[in-house]
Structure 1
Amino acid sequence: MKTEQEDFWTGDFGNQYVDRNSNPKSIAYRTAVFSSILSRTKDLTSIIEFGTNIGQNLIALRNLLPKCKLNGVEINTKAIQELKNISDINVFEGSILDFTSKDLGQFDLTFTSGVLIHINPSKLREVYAKLYDCSSKYILVKEYYNPKPIEVNYRGYSKRLFKRDFAGEIMDLYPNLELVDYGFQYHRDNNFPMDDSTWFLLKKNT
């Protein structure tokens, strides 16, 4: 049974989100941010993004890692149609909660970007487990941060956006994870303005 948040993103609001977030300049902004993040990684050959939308993050990653195998998981059908126009990206249509990589193995980097904030809080541990289990090296969390869990009104809707210390909760669940680096994307950056989200790069220590 789908959560109310999953229904929300598969419906009209999710379609409108696709239209609102099609700014070509966003690719340059994301490329700049990922350049900083990837400088703290090593030997990435495969990446999967949970909640890909129209693939702007994956396009930015393709600019930086042209030989890397890129994968995405996306729930919205309209976004999926956009993703099909991008070459050399494997897309899995459906909910993150339904995704399994048992037939695909692990990926060097698993990540979310503005996705955990929209997950039903009761399902977060399931998503954390997928980020962890599907990763062979690194986990990246790019989300809105708050020290304690809070709900924020989202474009007039309740129970659609939540802030918390996602990375901290993941590290508490999996003690072998090491915090490699973190950073902030300011909406008034002179060259690459983003949306005031914070990123955390974690590494598995085996």
Structure 2
Amino acid sequence: MTEKDIQKWTGEVGLQYTERNPQTVEELEELREEQYGISQTELYEEIIGDFERDIQILEVGSNVGVQLRCLRKLGFENLYGLDVQSFAIKKSREHAPTIPAVVGEGSHLPFADESFDLIFTNGCLITIPPNLIDAVQAEIVRCSKKYVMGQEFHSDKYIAIDSEHDDQLYWKTNFCERYLDNQDVELVESSLLSYVNTSNVDQMFLLKKLDS
């Protein structure tokens, strides 16, 4: 991210984002039921439910760690979080002291190559400016040993979205296709998640590194 973007997310914009989003697994499940008519736990169970529970998993853009706690509910043991906002990481550690979480940003992940079996984002890539998205995706692939997973806003075009809550821009595109076009990965599974009460569509996808 640029210094301006980092300042937004580490400042008032980031604080507002953290405070208005789910803090508990129960709140997340309720939100997903309202959005898609299916819980987040069920979504994860469908896409990685047959994975070994002791694999190393990193979430990039983990905020307060609610997605990681959702995965822990499914029995996954080795979970790690990373977010650019120190306040969110502090809250994450308070909610789940046994899930390590560190401050860092996506275009320069502080990890060695192939450090994790699976790296995922959930509503993170939508915050990355288009000129940096390839660098962030490349870092995610670099640090993954085998799998990359995502759940993000979806569009066939690259579209900027004005937030109703703050002055932060968000973007939607086909993030899965962008991985496939620019990184050494292949598609394992992809599905579109239609919203119950709006025309919005998200995409959930699982990718595998080539030759892994």
TM-score over 0.5 for the alignment?
Answer: yes
Q: TM-score range by the shorter chain?
A: 0.7 to 0.9
Deviation at 1:65, TM superposition (A): 2.6
Q: 2:132 aligns with which of 101, 105, 123?
A: 123
What CA distance in whole angstroms lies between the structure 1 residues aligned with 2:195 and 2:121? 19
What residue ranges of structure 1 are gaps of 5+ in the alignment? Answer: 190-194
What CA distance in whole angstroms lies between the structure 2 residues aligned with 1:6 and 1:155? 20
TM-score, normalization: structure 1?
Answer: 0.85
SS across alignment from 1:84 = helix
Q: In the alignment, does 2:207 pair up with 1:198?
A: no
Match of 2:10 in 1: 10
Does structure 2 conserve the Cα–Cα contact (< 8 Å) formed by 1:27 and 1:59?
Answer: no
User: Which string of whole-angstrom CA distances, capped at 9 and with x for unpartnered residues, describes residues 29-56 of structure 1?
Assistant: 3222111111364576100010000101
What CA distance in whole angstroms lies between the structure 1 residues aligned with 2:21 and 2:208? 30
Match of 1:53 in 2: 63
SS across alignment from 1:57 = helix
Does structure 2 conserve the Cα–Cα contact (< 8 Å) formed by 1:151 and 1:159?
Answer: no
Which AA in structure 1 matches 2:100?
Answer: N
Q: After superposition, where does 1:116-155 map in structure 2 within 5 Å?
A: 116-155=125-164
- Provide the aligned C-alpha RMSD in A: 2.3
Does structure 1 conserve the Cα–Cα contact (< 8 Å) formed by 2:64 and 2:92?
Answer: yes
Match of 1:179 in 2: 187
Compared with structure 1, are the counterparts of its residues 138 and 43 closer, same or farther at alpha carbon in structure 2 (3 Å cutoff)?
A: farther
Compared with structure 1, are the counterparts of its residues 90 and 58 closer, same or farther at alpha carbon in structure 2 (3 Å cutoff)?
A: same
What CA distance in whole angstroms lies between the structure 1 residues aligned with 2:4 and 2:155? 23
What CA distance in whole angstroms lies between the structure 1 residues aligned with 2:84 and 2:157? 28
Deviation at 1:100, TM superposition (A): 2.2
Compared with structure 1, are the counterparts of its residues 40 and 160 closer, same or farther at alpha carbon in structure 2 (3 Å cutoff)?
A: farther
